[in-house]
Each structure stands twice: as structure tokens, then as C-alpha cells.
């Protein structure tokens, strides 16, 4: 997973560690998409995340240093 790798490589953080710095680095929106305990959608084949929200999540991921 790109998020876990980026966090580990750039900040030495493990995505599922429970470290509050993970949420700080990712922000609320991206964290909600990648957290391990996220429930699957009720309708698995329904339209997913809106393009603007996806773009924002990608931009946030790319900003992790």
C-alpha cells in the first residue's frame, strides 16, 4: 500500500501503529480511506469516492514528507 510505504520511508511511522503522528501526517480525510478498521461499503459496487475527494486524498498523500 502506497500510504503505508510512504509513511514508513519518509517518517518512520507504521500505518496501523496507533501513533497519533500518523493521523497528523495523513489528515482526517485520507486516514478515513486507509485505516485498517474501516468498514467495507454496504453496496460494494456502488459509485465510490467523488473525484474531487480522491484528488484531495492523493494530494495529501503526495505531501507526506
Q: Residue ranges per domain, the chain?
A: 2-39+46-63
**Three-state SS across the chain?**
CHHHHHHHHHHCCCCCCCCHHHHHHHHHHHHHHHCCCCCCCCCCCCCCCCHHHHHHHHHHHHHCC
Does the model's pTM come out above 0.85?
A: no
Cβ-contact 52, 22 below 8 angstroms: no
Q: What is the pLDDT of residues 14-56, one digit of tens each?
A: 999 999 999 999 999 999 999 989 998 899 999 989 999 999 9
Q: How far apart are CA 4 and CA 47, in angstroms?
A: 25
User: Confidence class of residue 1 from pLDDT cuts 50, 70 and 90?
Assistant: low
Amino acid at each position: 500500500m502506497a500510504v503505508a510505504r510512504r509513511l514508513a520511508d519518509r517518517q518512520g511511522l507504521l500505518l496501523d501503529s496507533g501513533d497519533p503522528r500518523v493521523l497528523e501526517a495523513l489528515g482526517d480525510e485520507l486516514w478515513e480511506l486507509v485505516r485498517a478498521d474501516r468498514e467495507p461499503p454496504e453496496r460494494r459496487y456502488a459509485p465510490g469516492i467523488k473525484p474531487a475527494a480522491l484528488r484531495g486524498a492523493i494530494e495529501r498523500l503526495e505531501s507526506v514528507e
